[in-house]
Each structure stands twice: as C-alpha cells, then as structure tokens.
Structure 1
Amino acid sequence: MFRRLTAGAALLAAAALGLAGPASAADAPLRDLADARGIYLGTAVTGGKLTGAYADTAAAQFDSVTPGNEMKWGSVEPVRGQFSWTGADRVVDFAEAHGQRVRGHTLVWHSQLPSWVSNGTWTPDALRTVMTDHVTTEVSRYKGRIDHWDVVNEPLNEDGTLRQSVFGATLGESYIGDAFRAARAADPAAELYLNDYSTDGLGAKSDGMYALVERLLAQGVPVDGVGFQAHLILGQVPSTLEANLRRFADLGVDVAITELDIRMTLPATDAKLAQQKADYAAVTRACLAVTRCAGLTVWGFTDSDSWIPDFFPGQGAATPYDENLNPKPAYAGIAEALAPVTPPGPAGCTAAYTVQSQWGGGFTGQVTVRNTGTAPLTGWKVVWEYPAGQRVTQAWNATVTQTGTAVTAANLSYNGTVPAGGSATFGFNASWTGANPPPAVLTCT
C-alpha cells in the first residue's frame, strides 16, 4: 500500500529532522512511520493543486487524504438534484493511485451549503428527505472507496448545546441520527464520524459532545468515531487532550485528530518554530497513547494551502511545510513522535534504529545500543520484527540473524561491554520491496 519517497520528495524532507542542518534524504516518510505505529497520517488537499511537487509530497508523506472542499454539499450539489463530482473524483482517484485512504468531508454541515438549502423554507419532513437523499447519493457514489466519513460536522455551540443551524432549528437533534443511518445504509463498510472543533480538551463543549455521543449510542445510531479538529494556537495544546480522547474511546468509539494545524502570530521565528515542533509532537503522542485513536490528519501540509491567513489576519505558518514546500521543524516533531519506541531492558538497555541511506531495492541501517542503567552491560542483544518483508544481507559490529520477519542482533567479543551512560553501534545492509517502514518496536536485553 505504501510507496517510498521519490527523489525530489526525499530531498524536500531532508531538512526536517531538526531545527537546523539537513538530514539524510533516506529518512522514512511520515506515512511509513505512522503505519509502523498502527495509525494513519493524513492531510487535507486541494484537488486542483494535485500536480507537481505538491502532489509528490502529498503522495510520499501521507497515507490518507481529505478533500478540503470538494465533497462539501455546496460543491457537489449546488443545484437541487444536480451533482458535480469532478473535484471529488480527482481527490479519490489520486488517493487510489498512491495507495492512500480517503476521509470523506463532509456530508451534513451548517456552512458551505448551497443557498437552496440554507435559505429554503422547510417543513421537518421535507428537510429530512432532502438531507437523507443527499447523504445517500454521495455515500453511494463512493461506496467501498471511502475509509471514513465525517457524516455530521460541527453540530454544537461553544457551550455544548445544539447549534441552531437550518438542520438543528428545523429537525432538532434527530437530524444527526437520520444522517448517520442514511450513511450506514449507503455504505455499511465505511467508518462514520461526528466531527467538531474546540472539543480537543476537557471543557463545556467537549462535555456536550460526550453527552451527545452517549445519547446517540443509546439510540442505536451507528456512530463509529469522533473527530477532534484541533485547530490550535501556538503553545496552547490542551493538557487534557489525551485524557479527553481516552474518555471518548472508553465509550466504545474510535477517535481521530481530523484537522490539525497550529497557528502563530507572524512573522515566524526560530523560537516559535521550535514551540510549534513541540506542539505537533505533543498532539501526535496524545493520539499514540490512546489505543482507539485511528490516526491524525493535518489540515493542509503546506502554508501555501492553509486557510489560516484568510480567517485570522496576521497569523499563519500553521502547517508542517512552508510555502515553498520545505519541511519545517513541525515535520520533525511529528517524525520524532512517531519514531519506534524501545522500552528499556532489564539492565537499562535501549536501542534506536535509523536508516542511513536508501536506494532502489536496498538500504543501509544502523542501530545504537545505549546503557541507561547504573551498572555496565556485559553483553547485549537487540530483536525486532520487519513489517514489510525487508531482509538483512550483511552486517558489521554485530552478529545479525534473521528468521522470517524476526531479526536478532548480538554483540561481538569486543563491543559487548557498555558502561553506564555509554553506547555501542552496529550497522547492516538489507533489501526491501515496495516499502521500507521501520520496525515498530525494538527489544534490547
């Protein structure tokens, strides 16, 4: 499903792994790092821009795409009963050509509605029919091709009460259940989400969303997940984000970060970019910490395609890439949070895995063994599982064996003793086909 970086996209990613200085062009794409950790890493895209370097980067780095506007009601059904699928088809076709999933956004929303809906005079029955017909038509068209749907978007006010949109005012809360049931009937395999902003941390609005989800589930409404948009301000990642995601997951639904960006007052400075790096890492770690967090989507991966400057004058630089498609420190924050985690061994032994260089069909890897304990190591062994069929062909500074996908590396006579606080490094050459994601976990003993 995953493809490796093209040469151009790899060079774009090269500068991303620190605040200054280039990294190796063979650093694993974000999509591979995320896959190894069991989540997806997506981006919103603009269909008309899916060419050239923009398309290359979107394809290389992300394993899920969300159409920014192309699937909204005003885009696909501007006139009642007359549908335009060109933009939506472009995004779905692009995703399928690059082994990506699609997050459908969005079926029922109070904004970007065609005027015939928002300004119509409706009886409850008439509006319900119009809404469910629209949901059925759109979901049916893409049946089997959409992984997640944002079925209802932004249904709540800031205090957690129901927004009095044309739907809320005419139909009350029942419109939410009706929309979900219509979507489930049209595509039983798609994951159906309720999505909103300012629900990321504990508070009145997230409490309202929690109570709403409880009610919907009690009514048998097929809510599979809850999306947290996470349009955040620099330095203000909610300290309760992880706890909030977990309480929703405990209801028996999946959760996802669906529209992440972290805006700052311009101009960007090194200090602000460093804080943004830490903030992106914190959000990524919060998702990883919750078993039912399905994934994370950035709302546009480049500042040239961000909505922030138009809505928040004087603010911007909110995405992981700058306007010239150069990765920012935020990219590195995501990558570092997604890096394989090695629990300390019984003697304080840890191991870190990196790809030093990569070429068609092969790569050179390196593992650094560290002694985080207080006593010397008198021998070490590192074990990992390859997720994509990679095969070790040569090794140095360790005895490396492989059985199936399982790899075991043991010290040689001259580097088995590692003092407290010290390290030992070994390397290897290996082959790969199709993808080269890193192992999810290394075990060091």
Structure 2
Amino acid sequence: MKNNWIKTISLLSLAILSLGMGSRMLSQTEGLDSKGLKDAFEGKFLIGTALNGAQINGRDQQSIELLKANFNSIVAENVMKSGPLQPEEGAFNFSSADKFVDLGESLGLHVVGHNLIWHSQAPGWFFVDEEGNEVSKEVLIGRMETHIKTVVGRYKGRVDGWDVVNEAILDDGTWRKSKFYEIIGEDFMKLAFQFAHEADPEAELYYNDYSMALPGKREGVVKMVKKLQEQGVKVDGIGMQGHIGLEHPAIEEFEKSIAAYSGLGLTVIITELDMSVLPSPGRNTGADVGTNFDYEQSINPYQEGLPDSVRQKFDRRYVDFFKLFLKHQEKISRVTFWGIADQHSWKNNWPVRGRTDYPLMFDRNYQPKSVVNALMELVE
C-alpha cells in the first residue's frame, strides 16, 4: 500500500513537472513566433521594405501586420516618384505620399523617400515646352529645383533620407544619356543634391543604382561621387540595389563594391533586395525597367510552386548574402527588401510579363518562408 502511494505521488509530481516544462516550452515558442526580422538584426542594421499603393492606402492589412512585425524602415515603391507626384507642371498630388509618411510616423519607422530625379517614370512635360520642343538648360534646372524643393520641403524633418538620383551611371561606368544629362550635363547630379540639401539640411541624401557589383559601374560611381565630394556636395550614402539571382552577381564582386563605396566615407545601403529564381531571358539585363522580352513557357517553370531543390538553393543564397552583410555591418546601415510578399514583386512582370516568381521573404499567403527562419538562426 505504501509503495502504491509512493508510486502515485511520484506520477503526480512528474505530471506537474511536465506541465510546468510544457508551459515554459510554450512560452519560449510564443517568444520565437513574436520575434521578427527587425528584432533579429537589431543593433546591426535596419531591415526595410518597399510599400506599394494598396498597402499605403490601407487596402492590404495583412501586409501591414507583417510590416509591423518584421520591418523598421520603409521606402515608397512608386508613390513618391516624379510622375505620380507631379503629373502636370505645378499640379502636385501628395495624397498617397502623405499617407506613406503618416504611416511611417505612426509606427515609429525609419522613412525613406524614393526618388527625386530619375530618367524613368518622370512626367513627359518635364523636358519639353508647350509646343513640344526640348526645353533649355535653364528651364530644366528650374523645374528640377521646384520639384525637389517642393517635395523635400513638404516632408522636412519627417523623411529620414532621400534617394536623390536614381540610376544615372551605366554598367560600363559612363553616364546614362538621359534627358537630364543631355540637356544639363553632369552638373544635374550636383544640382539635385544641392537642392535637396537646401530643402532639408538634416535629411540623409543617397545615390541609388542597380548592378553596383559590376567593376565598370563601381569605378564610374566612385569617380562620380569623388567629384561631388571635391565640389563640397553633401552625399551621405550609396544605395546598392540588390536585384540578384541564384547565380549572379558574384558575392566576391559585391563585397568589393561594399568596400569601395564605404571607402568614400559613406554609408552603404542594400536597397531593393529581391532574388529571382527564374531563368533570365537575356544576358546582362540588370534592372532597367525599359528591358522587356516576350513570354515563353520555358522561362516560367514554377507556376504551380517552387521545387524543394530550388527553395533550398534560394535559402542558401540569401544566407550567404546576409553573412556578407553581417561581416560588413559597420559599413551597412540598412537592408531593404523590394516588397513584402511574392505577389507584390515587380519580378513577376519584369523583364517578362506574366511570370510567377518567388523573390521575397513571405509567400503569396503572407506566410514566412523557410528562409526567414534561416536568417534568424544565422544571427542567433
């Protein structure tokens, strides 16, 4: 009888102990579930994302919940570009841009404006007069000044940093022959940064471009920035667009560019990060939005989902890049993904419209992919 009582008490004690351990394990699991990417990389660099119009205007609340949990910096994907902001001369439309900045402030996020001067998505009127003739250098400079100072001035003290000029250097390091360059010359770069600084002296100012790991572009950007610095122009950072693939660019070349840009005394920002898993229809497509190829079934192989072998390669490639970012965390201030979930990515329609790509951290059901856990484990 005594032995039975002892056995009963032992079993009860074990059950109580097990319940306690289970409770602690549940608590630990809940803690892991509540930890997002921004928490994992806290103290190393900011984790940002681009927001589209539906998210900014409150039509995609699932994305906003992921934003709150995983990101501490936001950038406007399209609503702050010159075309949407000033479709007609002097007729500014700040509706969505205001909501973007309001959202960032309400959530206590680091806010980035994208972008002030870009040859693409600029309104057609910017470069011509009422009769359709190309404007003079003086007129275009005036329009640049008005646009930049109106936009930056409106959000003075509220936007932390601006992509002042976007994609002005070609892959070989020469200047892109945009209308800004053809009409004004190289000085359009200097003037853009000067106007932005005059409008908000406290905001950080960045140059942003794609294919920044290419040796030719690296040399061209370094040369351009050095000249600006010699002229006393305020430049705070270099945005290295991270439109990468499973095979390109070489991580070694990416690392060389981080070193080269930080060697200018500037912060390096990994911007527009996404990883396409789809075959490229052409060589050296970079990220030029003007590049387009015809649809073919053979270059859209994963319409029904991503095979495990490709997913594993995707995860390893992202982890390798984040190992690089962590290695150079003292040089890098922010890593920003170009979207939240796969269905939002521009890669579904570029450079071939109508494909199914998987370039981001969250799937089409707003669920974290295995790569999210892999990145968090990398830090922990």
Deviation per CA, 1:132-182: give whole Å up to 9, x if none: 110111000111111110000000122111111110111111000100011
Match of 1:45 among 43, 51, 74: 51
2:127–2:140 contact (8 Å) kept in structure 1: no
Partner residue in 1 for 2:31 = 26
User: Is the helix fraction higher in 1 or 2?
Assistant: 2
Partners in 2 of 1:219 and 1:282 — Cα distance?
Answer: 38
- The verdict on how the C-alpha distance between 1:325 and 1:119 changes in structure 2, with shifts beyond 3 A counting, is farther
Partner residue in 2 for 1:231 = 243
User: Is the strand fraction higher in 1 or 2?
Assistant: 1
* CA shift for structure 1 position 271: 1.6
Q: Match of 2:74, SS?
A: strand
* CA shift for structure 1 position 118: 4.5
Give the TM-score taking structure 1 as reference length: 0.68
Partners in 1 of 2:102 and 2:211 — Cα distance?
Answer: 32
- Work out whether 1:330 is the aligned partner of 2:371: yes
- Work out whether 1:135 is the aligned partner of 2:148: yes
- Work out whether 1:288 is the aligned partner of 2:333: no
Partners in 1 of 2:190 and 2:317 — Cα distance?
Answer: 35
Give the TM-score taking structure 2 as reference length: 0.79
Partners in 2 of 1:56 and 1:32 — Cα distance?
Answer: 15
- Gapped runs of 5+ residues in structure 1? 1-22, 341-445
**Equivalent residues, number:** 315
- The verdict on how the C-alpha distance between 1:169 and 1:302 changes in structure 2, with shifts beyond 3 A counting, is same
2:255–2:324 contact (8 Å) kept in structure 1: yes
- The verdict on how the C-alpha distance between 1:202 and 1:311 changes in structure 2, with shifts beyond 3 A counting, is closer
* CA shift for structure 1 position 282: 2.3
Deviation per CA, 1:288-307: give whole Å up to 9, x if none: 22212111000002111100
* CA shift for structure 1 position 323: 1.1
Partners in 1 of 2:143 and 2:53 — Cα distance?
Answer: 27
2:63–2:340 contact (8 Å) kept in structure 1: no
Partner residue in 1 for 2:312 = 274
Partners in 1 of 2:36 and 2:95 — Cα distance?
Answer: 29
1:160–1:206 contact (8 Å) kept in structure 2: yes
* Counterpart residue identity of residue 327, structure 1: P
Q: Match of 1:229, SS?
A: strand
* Counterpart residue identity of residue 361, structure 2: P
Q: Match of 2:42, SS?
A: helix
- Work out whether 1:212 is the aligned partner of 2:224: yes
Task: Work out the percentage of aligned pairs sharing the same amino acid.
Answer: 35
Partners in 1 of 2:75 and 2:148 — Cα distance?
Answer: 17
* CA shift for structure 1 position 104: 0.7
Q: Match of 1:316, SS?
A: coil
1:136–1:186 contact (8 Å) kept in structure 2: yes
Partner residue in 2 for 1:88 = 97
Partner residue in 2 for 1:318 = 359
- The verdict on how the C-alpha distance between 1:60 and 1:169 changes in structure 2, with shifts beyond 3 A counting, is same
* Counterpart residue identity of residue 331, structure 2: R
Partners in 2 of 1:315 and 1:195 — Cα distance?
Answer: 27
Match of 1:306 among 345, 348, 370: 345
Partners in 2 of 1:47 and 1:90 — Cα distance?
Answer: 10
Q: Match of 2:268, SS?
A: strand
Partners in 2 of 1:237 and 1:288 — Cα distance?
Answer: 18
* Counterpart residue identity of residue 29, structure 2: S
Partners in 2 of 1:269 and 1:25 — Cα distance?
Answer: 30
Partners in 1 of 2:138 and 2:260 — Cα distance?
Answer: 35
1:47–1:88 contact (8 Å) kept in structure 2: no
- The verdict on how the C-alpha distance between 1:130 and 1:117 changes in structure 2, with shifts beyond 3 A counting, is same
* CA shift for structure 1 position 25: 4.2
Deviation per CA, 1:63-90: give whole Å up to 9, x if none: 0011110100001111101111111111
* CA shift for structure 1 position 311: 1.1
1:139–1:187 contact (8 Å) kept in structure 2: yes
Select between 304-313 and 229-238 the one with higher mean Cα deviation.
229-238
Deviation per CA, 1:251-291: give whole Å up to 9, x if none: 11111001000001241221211122122222223222221
1:256–1:287 contact (8 Å) kept in structure 2: no
* CA shift for structure 1 position 224: 0.6
* CA shift for structure 1 position 211: 1.2
Partners in 1 of 2:223 and 2:54 — Cα distance?
Answer: 39
Match of 2:64 among 55, 65, 79: 55
* Counterpart residue identity of residue 73, structure 1: S
* Counterpart residue identity of residue 300, structure 1: G
- Gapped runs of 5+ residues in structure 2? 1-27, 279-300
* CA shift for structure 1 position 117: 1.4
Deviation per CA, 1:79-110: give whole Å up to 9, x if none: 10111111111111111111111111000000
* Counterpart residue identity of residue 106, structure 2: A
* CA shift for structure 1 position 202: 4.3
* CA shift for structure 1 position 332: 2.7
* CA shift for structure 1 position 119: 4.9
Select between 244-253 and 24-33 the one with higher mean Cα deviation.
24-33
Partners in 1 of 2:160 and 2:240 — Cα distance?
Answer: 17
Partners in 1 of 2:269 and 2:232 — Cα distance?
Answer: 21
Select between 69-78 and 243-252 the one with higher mean Cα deviation.
243-252
Q: Match of 1:57, SS?
A: helix
Deviation per CA, 1:291-346: give whole Å up to 9, x if none: 12111000002111100111133451111111111111232343234x24xxxxxx
Partner residue in 2 for 1:244 = 257
Partner residue in 1 for 2:13 = none
Partner residue in 2 for 1:365 = none
Partners in 1 of 2:92 and 2:63 — Cα distance?
Answer: 28
Partners in 1 of 2:109 and 2:135 — Cα distance?
Answer: 39
Partners in 2 of 1:258 and 1:287 — Cα distance?
Answer: 12
2:111–2:159 contact (8 Å) kept in structure 1: yes
- The verdict on how the C-alpha distance between 1:128 and 1:280 changes in structure 2, with shifts beyond 3 A counting, is same
